[in-house]
């Protein structure tokens, strides 16, 4: 039987009063979010290095746990990027190689990404041993729980197995691990309408459109460019000409975004508007940031 963790909602996002900590206006000790809390909220600044370090640590813990149960598990060892927030957002290398990634979505052939070492190892096991591997890693069908976020987003995760043990070891409990992964994202998305109404954002987009016209394109926005190309793939399927157009549009979009600093403008607005979020949401973000930082400090 699947267990469900039913979360309360404040301003459209999760609050963990059902999970152990409630947040009220009377609990507030400070009004301003710190730079670190804004990093977690917007996935900027220190977020990239910290998230990579935590992911690597989690992978090493899983590897040790699986090895103790007689299975091989290769730990990830990713390196944090040295790019700026804007450079990571634009991801020009990816644009030059794959555009928006639409051709891969609508193509008949899978991209040659290779088989991960752990997947290859499991593929070589007997069905009995592969099932045992899966149970050791994530438990069985009776071990899954669900955390419900406002807006109909449900996150399902296992409460047993090496993944769960490793996350509990890092973050203290699984509820906080899930909340750290998804609460800031949901909260950040709440800021989007305000960002898009901002005069600074509208000016940046006007400048972006002017830049794009200079390169021969008349899209209203980056989203509009993406959506029109997506519609073309749905209508035509993957063709060489459409794939080349996708890459050209995506690169022009990125070049213009960099020229007029659209990502930096959006990020600055998000970080500024976050200071006016409801107190309960800010308190929850502060609590989760403390847990996130404690987890990161513990692996140093």
CA atoms within 13 A of residue 258's CA, in its CB half-sphere: 14
> Using N-to-C axis directions, what is the helix angle for 222-236 and 240-260, rounded to 10°?
180
Q: What average pLDDT does the segment 257-263 reach?
A: 97
188 with 37: CB under 8 angstroms? Answer: no
Q: What angle do CA 254, 257, 263 make, to 5 degrees?
A: 110
Give the pair of three-digit tokens for residue 249. Answer: 């549009």
Query: What pLDDT shows up at residue 1?
Result: 23
Beta-bridge partner residues of 8: 15
> Using N-to-C axis directions, what is the helix angle for 162-171 and 47-68, rounded to 10°?
130
Q: What average pLDDT does the segment 142-163 reach?
A: 85
Strand pairing class (3-5; 144-149): parallel
Query: What pLDDT shows up at residue 29?
Result: 52
146 with 155: CB under 8 angstroms? Answer: yes
Bigger pLDDT: 42 vs 8: 42
Which three-class secondary structure state does DSSP give residue 29? coil
Residue 215 confidence (pLDDT) above 60: yes
User: pLDDT tens-digit profile of 63-117?
Assistant: 999 999 999 999 988 887 889 999 999 999 999 999 999 998 887 544 444 458 8
Cβ neighbours of residue 124 closer than 8 Å, sequence gap 6 or more: none
- The model's confidence at residue 118, banded by pLDDT at 50, 70 and 90, is very high
117 with 74: CB under 8 angstroms? Answer: yes
User: pLDDT tens-digit profile of 282-298?
Assistant: 999 999 999 999 999 99
CA distance 236 to 79: 39
Bigger pLDDT: 26 vs 4: 26
CA distance 292 to 272: 22
Global pTM value: 0.83
Residue 161 per-residue DSSP state: S
Beta-bridge partner residues of 4: 146
CA distance 202 to 199: 5
DSSP E strand stretches across 27-122: none
CA distance 174 to 291: 12
CA distance 256 to 168: 43
Q: What average pLDDT does the segment 203-207 reach?
A: 98
Burial (CB < 10 A; 0-12, 13-18, 19+), residue 241, is exposed
Give the pair of three-digit tokens for residue 197. Answer: 């109404």
Residue 77, Cβ neighbours under 10 Å: how many?
10
215 with 256: CB under 8 angstroms? Answer: yes
CA distance 279 to 274: 11
Give the pair of three-digit tokens for residue 290. Answer: 């403390």
Domain boundaries, the chain: 1-23+31-74+117-189+277-300, 85-110+191-276
């Amino acid at each position: 039987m699947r267990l469900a963790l039913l979360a309360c909602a404040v301003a459209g996002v999760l609050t963990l009063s059902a999970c152990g900590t409630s947040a009220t206006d009377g609990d507030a000790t400070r009004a301003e979010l710190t730079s670190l809390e804004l990093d977690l909220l917007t996935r900027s600044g220190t977020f990239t290095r910290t998230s990579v370090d935590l992911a690597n640590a989690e992978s090493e813990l899983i590897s040790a746990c699986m090895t103790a149960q007689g299975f091989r598990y290769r730990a990830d060892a990713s390196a944090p990027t040295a790019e700026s927030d804007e450079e990571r957002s634009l991801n020009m290398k990816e644009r030059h190689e794959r555009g928006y990634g639409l051709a891969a979505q609508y193509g008949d052939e899978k991209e040659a990404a290779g088989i991960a070492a752990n997947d290859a190892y499991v593929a070589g096991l007997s069905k009995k041993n592969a099932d045992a591997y899966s149970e050791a890693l994530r438990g069985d069908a009776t071990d899954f729980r669900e955390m419900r976020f406002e807006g109909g987003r449900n996150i399902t995760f296992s409460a047993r197995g090496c993944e769960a043990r490793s996350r509990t070891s890092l973050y203290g409990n699984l509820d906080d691990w899930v909340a750290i992964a998804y609460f800031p994202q949901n909260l950040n998305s709440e800021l989007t309408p305000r960002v898009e109404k901002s005069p600074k954002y509208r000016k940046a987009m006007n400048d972006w459109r002017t830049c794009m016209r200079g390169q021969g394109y008349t899209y209203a926005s980056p989203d509009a460019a993406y959506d029109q190309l997506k519609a073309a793939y749905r209508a035509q399927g993957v063709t060489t000409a459409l794939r080349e157009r996708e890459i050209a549009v995506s690169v022009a979009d990125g070049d213009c975004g960099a020229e007029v600093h659209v990502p930096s403008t959006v990020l600055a607005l998000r970080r500024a508007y976050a200071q006016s979020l409801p107190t309960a949401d800010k308190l929850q973000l502060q609590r989760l940031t403390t847990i996130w930082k404690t987890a990161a400090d513990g692996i140093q």
